[in-house]
Structures are given as structure tokens and as C-alpha cells.
Chains A and B, each alone.
Chain A
Amino acid sequence: ETGVTQSPTHLIKTRGQQVTLRCSSQSGHNTVSWYQQALGQGPQFIFQYYREEENGRGNFPPRFSGLQFPNYSSELNVNALELDDSALYLCASSLGLAVGLDNEQFFGPGTRLTVL
């Protein structure tokens, strides 16, 4: 069974550029969540995808967008990068959405994004 993987590991961009981060979910999982973790803080929920549809979004502007593919892998896209977007971006996968299911989230190693 393969765990959650993310690519790339590190990324450096400049203000105004666009970036795409990728996540492969754990085998059998159909739900992917993305979190942003600024240095010294806890992760903050960005959004979640379930069966290719966005299902839930945190307090992030529309320039943060995502996709989920038929194989349940996912992308996080950020347009018009700002300095404050520098953070560790974490992806987590789980099985299902509904309350009542044992759908613990499993996290990937993260992508470290630096915006200069």
C-alpha cells in the first residue's frame, strides 16, 4: 500500500507567478484535502475534493484553486503569488466524507514553497 506522496519537495517562485503542486492519494482513498502551514503555525484548511468535486473551502481567496482527477490524485494551483504564500503545503487523503465513517486523514510530506 502506497502512502500519500507530494511533488515537488521544494519550489522557489517570484511574486506574481503561478504555481502547481501535486498530490497522489493513498491507495483506495477518494478524498483529498489541502492545508497551508506558515512557519511556526498550525496547518490551515484550504479546500477538499471528493470524487473530483470541491467539497468545502477554508478562508482562502479564489486565486487558490484545485483539481481532482479520476484516479483521485489532486493539484493545488495558486495564481498571482504573494510573499505571504510562502509556506509548507500539505496534502491529506482519506476515504469518504460522511460523518460516521472511519475516515482518518493521512498526510503527505508536504511541498515547501518560497516566494521571493
Chain B
Amino acid sequence: KQEVTQIPAALSVPEGENLVLNCSFTDSAIYNLQWFRQDPGKGLTSLLLIQSSQREQTSGRLNASLDKSSGRSTLYIAASQPGDSATYLCAVRPSNAGNMLTFGGGTRLMVKP
């Protein structure tokens, strides 16, 4: 059974810092990995999707890497801003099943002005 873990569970940083969020998964048979952002009480906004054959994806100040063999992904946020404050979730899609996602518990990020 696939298990996804995110560390740390919560993070508080001053504005301007570069930061790294970690995601690990137990079964490397994945089709893709996706990072989402969730504001309090809201739905999920997709940030980056990495296919299993890819090593990284970039969008603006965000960069996500994937090491499938070791079961790890990182989300790097450059020059953090108060508007980045949210919960960040990673999710994996299995390579041998339908289109269902297994999520980690999330990292709650607070960027202080």
C-alpha cells in the first residue's frame, strides 16, 4: 500500500527566504507526482506535475524535483512571500491502476512579513 509522507508538517519563515518542502513515498511504481497548494478551507490548486520519466519541473519561483528510485520529491520555493502562506500537498498517482491520487498530510507554511 502506497504511503506518502511530508516533512515538515509546519514551517514558519521570514519573507525572502528560500525553502524546501519534502515528500517521500513508499512505492516507486508511480505514473506521476503532483504538488498542490491549498488555502484554508479551500480546494486544491495544482502547482506542478512531474511525470515519472522527468527529474524536475519549474514554474516561476517554484521548482519540483523527483527521484523515483529513492521515493522522494522536493518542492523548492525561491524568495518566499507572505502570499505563499498556505498548505502544500504532494500526491502520487500509481502506474498500474486508475487515475486515483494518494496524498501526503501536507506542510503548513507561514511566511512572515
**A contact set with B: CB distance below 8 Å:** 31, 33, 35, 40-45, 48, 50, 55-56, 58, 88, 90, 92, 94, 96-97, 99, 103-110, 112
Contact = CB atoms under 8 A, between A and B. Distances in A.
Contact of B97 (A50, A56, A107): A56
B43 A97 contact: no
B42 A42 contact: no
Nearest to B6: A42
B89 interface: yes
18 contacts: A33-B99, A40-B105, A41-B106, A42-B6, A42-B105, A43-B44, A43-B89, A43-B91, A44-B103, A48-B99, A56-B98, A90-B44, A99-B31, A105-B101, A107-B43, A107-B44, A107-B46, A110-B42
B99 A31 contact: yes
Contact of B96 (A42, A99, A105): A99
Contacts of B34: 104-105
Among B4, B42, B96, B101, max chain A CB count under 10 A is at: B101
Contacts of B4: 42
Nearest to B103: A42
A53 B45 CA distance: 27
Contacts of B44: 43, 90, 92, 107
A107 B101 CA distance: 12
B100 A42 contact: no
Contacts of B98: 48, 50, 55-56, 97
A56 B46 CA distance: 22
